[in-house]
Chains A and B, each alone.
Chain A
Amino acid sequence: MGVGGASGATEQVAEILDKFPGGIRLVDSIEYLVAWARANSLWPLVYGTACCAMEMMSAGSSRHDWARFGVEVARATPRQADLIVLAGTIVEKMGTNLVTLYEQMPAPKYVIAMGSCAISGGPFYYDTYSVIKGGDRLIPVDVYVPGCPPRPEALLYGIMELQEKIRKEGRRNPWKVGKVLETPFVDTHSLAKQEWLTQEEKKEDEQRLARARFKAENPDYKPAKPQRLAKEKFAAMPRIPPRKSGFTNPSLLAAVQRAFPEVALFRQPEITPATVADLGPEYILDLEIGPEQYPDLVRFLKEDQELGIDLLLQVTAVDWQDHFDVLVQLLSTRLGHKVFLRCPVSKEQPEINTISDIFRGAEWHEREVFDLFGIRFSGHPDMRRIFLLDDFPGYPLRKDFADPERVVKRPY
């Protein structure tokens, strides 16, 4: 509900004017004018977190053009805005900021929850540890626009509904508590349901009569058998593996094993450069190495001119219940081949040397692994959490992570 409403300061004036003949009309018309002006000059805050923001931009651009409804002046500061469209997912880290933004807006202020995420968490309701399940858990919402994402037309309709709501605000507001209590309660829902039931009964009777009459007139009639459209059938296609470029697996593995003889393939330690070609052309070399030699191997791969590996794709990790694997994925932009390597890390002491001095880009990737898996990288220049708040309990991508307070388990 919009805070303030069209009444506010005029409340006391109205108390006095109401007593005079015609005074009530005067107050009414002023309030109507104020509400009309307010409804047709909404100033939205530029606030979009995720996908819905794109549809909000579409609503503001050439084709849909929300300026037609007076929602033209998108403001970048909450102090000049009176409408906030929650376009996108709201996560825990954003929550406090959103409340601050709302509190900075001058009243009367309105909120539209656009899209499933802002309404209820949407596709991220179950099994996520960071998403707030609906914007209305933080700030009061006036209009909900469903969709994932809603079309721009849907947002425009939501805006029109909000304008309707604003126009009805005021002293004679039917939603105002005092007024509602004065009017007797009518259960319109039950009335409508009753009406619908009688209509249904009437329809059933008419249909029964019509069927009987038809049968009497055409005693030999037999209905045709219903036919269903045949479901399209597709043949299985042979897969054409993509063309490979750069070093082949045998020569790559031979080059690595020449420098690091104890390097073996993950889960297939018996494979040698002679037999690695049997794993198929699409197999990407997956090397396993101990923690002592791990940075040395990365450095070797980067600095060996012949191998030509120059780009770090990512550093990530996998939780194997009993230990972690830190994965490093490398690519040669010049030749096109890829090398993956992994290093086991114990669960009791999850610590490993950093490679951010070799590849600068590893710095953020390692922070991400620390944030989500709790693996520390010794020698890292800035070992902080990257996505989650500092006081977030536990490391969410670990398999044993459980947080009944945040995570709603999927019931099926």
Chain B
Amino acid sequence: MELQPVDNLPEGFTRGLNSDETSEEYFLNMGPQHPSTHGVLRLVLKLDGENVLEVVPHLGYVHRGIEKLAESQTYLQNIHLTDRLDYLSSHFNNLGYCLAMEQALDIGVPERGEYIRVMVCELQRIQSHLLWWGVTGMDLGAISTFLYGFKEREMITDIFEEICGARLTMNFFRPGGSFADVPDTFIPRVKKVIERMHVALDEYNTLLTDNIIFRERTRAIGILSREKALSYGCSGGVLRASGVSYDVRRNDPYSIYDRFDFGIPVGSVGGCFDRYRMKMEEMPQSLRILEQAVKDFPEGPYRSKEQSAYRLPQGSYYSQVETARGLLGTYIVAEGGAKPYRVKFRSPSFSNLSTLCEMAVGHKIADLVTILATLDFVVPDIDR
């Protein structure tokens, strides 16, 4: 077997193509503008016919330098930047950042504020999963799931619009609660969503989960072992699908999650279908939390005393929340003053995506798309 000269290779590859006459090896570029890479991820594939031999992801096509920008803005101004990291989980990002600030300044949150936080976050989880479900179907060739998923998603988006005026980039939470109280229509609307979602989830399962083509496309594809998932630092559904029962809400509870009764779905095989099932089973669990929260939703103040300026004392602060994609860590280094010295976001998508090179090898190129879809990443969250 002869190898091509090494200096003529695409970036990131170390071995050349097999130049046998029977060999069908070639390089293929996928992205950054590609409908299945969910944004602007770029992959360079080494293929043998249709089989994937090697994958090299290229990141940074939407690296906006949010961490550098955060160093030149005040603590409160930075909350809106966190919206734009993982824009499908903006409430979670706000929450993670506010939790770190609360830890530093010893700010408490009133009962009603905590309930608002939990309910809004669980609504966001469902909303994010709905979009993921629609897009996953579309990646595998079923346009209809996209239209179905967005139908219920708009109901939740309406609630967000009513409570904070934004549909996507919320900027809702503040240290000590949220910037506004929820309107009177909030609870009736949430009840309506819960009612509708129970029906809709059945619809979804009939439409996609039990679909024979979908099952065949996801079964035994992209298997990630428990050890590998841990070694790569995966979190969220990807980690749980591989059989590790770790959910920040359960294992390291923040806000008032320890008061609610909910289950953590855990997979066994760690394949695409397991990862799909994790998300589908998380939605009823979120509904369970919402049902309990609606029942006990208290009256009272929604936030604690405001401060005119937030100045974190010297030290480093770390908080973590479970977003729709996994563990989001917010690490703030403060040196006194009105601006942070360093802000680092530990984004779940970054670690989850790094397993791709491991999982895709040996599969067909169409299965690579399935793996990408079930990894459920958001590229600006990876690039930051």
Contacts and interface: CB of A to CB of B under 8 A. Distances in A.
Interface of A: 45-51, 53-55, 57-58, 61-63, 76, 78, 88-89, 91, 93-94, 97, 101, 123-124, 126-131, 148-149, 151, 233-240, 242-243, 245, 282, 284, 286, 310-314, 316, 318-319, 327, 329, 333, 336, 338, 340, 359-365, 372, 382, 384-389, 396-397, 401, 410
Contacts of B151: 61-63
B253 A149 contact: no
Contacts of B60: 91, 93, 385-389
Contacts of B303: 234
Nearest to B31: A97
Given A91-B63, A237-B110, A54 B68 contact: no
A241 to B, nearest CB: 8
A133 to B, nearest CB: 12
Contacts of A126: 69, 72
B43 to A, nearest CB: 14
Contacts of A362: 233
Contacts, number: 219
B64 A313 contact: no
Interface in B57-112: 59-69, 72, 80-81, 83-84, 87-88, 102-103, 106-110
B87 A329 contact: no
Contacts of B67: 372, 397
Contact of B233 (A128, A318, A336, A361): A361
Contact of B11 (A130, A284, A340, A384): A384
Contacts of B351: 361, 364
A109 to B, nearest CB: 15
A396 B65 contact: yes
B189 interface: no
A233 B351 CA distance: 43
A127 B69 contact: yes
Contact of B62 (A89, A336, A360, A382): A89
A101 B107 contact: no
A151 B61 contact: no
Interface stretch (B15-23, B198-206, B244-252, B284-292): B244-252
Interface in B350-384: 350-351, 354, 379-380, 383
B342 interface: yes
Contact of B108 (A78, A238, A318, A360): A238
Interface stretch (B1-9, B211-219, B224-232, B273-281): B224-232
B346 interface: yes
Contact of A49 (B61, B234, B258): B61
A91 B305 contact: no
B40 A94 contact: yes
Nearest to B106: A239
Nearest to A100: B33
Contact of B246 (A234, A286, A333, A338): A333
B33 A47 contact: yes
Counting chain A CB atoms within 10 Å of each CB, which of B12, B252, B301, B346 scores highest? B252
Interface residues of B, number: 82
B64 A131 contact: yes
Nearest to B315: A267
A127 to B, nearest CB: 5
A396 B333 CA distance: 17
Contact of B154 (A58, A88, A382): A58
A175 B384 CA distance: 41
Nearest to A46: B35
B150 interface: yes
A50 B154 contact: no
Given A58-B150, A129-B68, A50 B232 contact: no
Contacts of A57: 131, 146, 150
B254 interface: yes
Nearest to A409: B72
Nearest to B154: A63
A231 B11 CA distance: 59
B372 to A, nearest CB: 15
A242 B69 CA distance: 30
Nearest to B231: A360
A386 B57 CA distance: 9
B195 interface: no
A258 B32 CA distance: 50
B192 interface: no
Contact of A61 (B34, B146, B239): B146
Given A50-B380, A127-B68, A130-B63, A284 B305 contact: no
B68 A361 contact: no
B147 interface: yes
B318 interface: yes
A397 B384 CA distance: 13
24 contacts: A57-B146, A58-B157, A76-B34, A91-B60, A124-B66, A128-B65, A128-B68, A128-B69, A129-B65, A130-B64, A235-B301, A236-B107, A239-B102, A314-B233, A318-B333, A318-B342, A333-B230, A359-B231, A359-B233, A363-B354, A384-B11, A386-B60, A396-B65, A401-B68
Contacts of A401: 68
A97 B333 CA distance: 36
B176 interface: yes
A327 B109 CA distance: 30
Contacts of A284: 318
B319 to A, nearest CB: 9
Contacts of A340: 316, 318
B11 to A, nearest CB: 7
A149 B169 contact: yes
A318 B169 CA distance: 28
Given A123-B81, A243-B253, A63 B150 contact: yes
A118 B213 CA distance: 39
Nearest to B384: A387
Given A49-B39, A123-B80, A236-B108, A329 B68 contact: no
A318 B228 CA distance: 28
B344 interface: yes
A91 B62 contact: yes
B63 A387 contact: yes
Given A245-B252, A314-B329, A397-B67, A50 B147 contact: no
A63 B84 CA distance: 24
Interface in B17-52: 32-35, 39-40
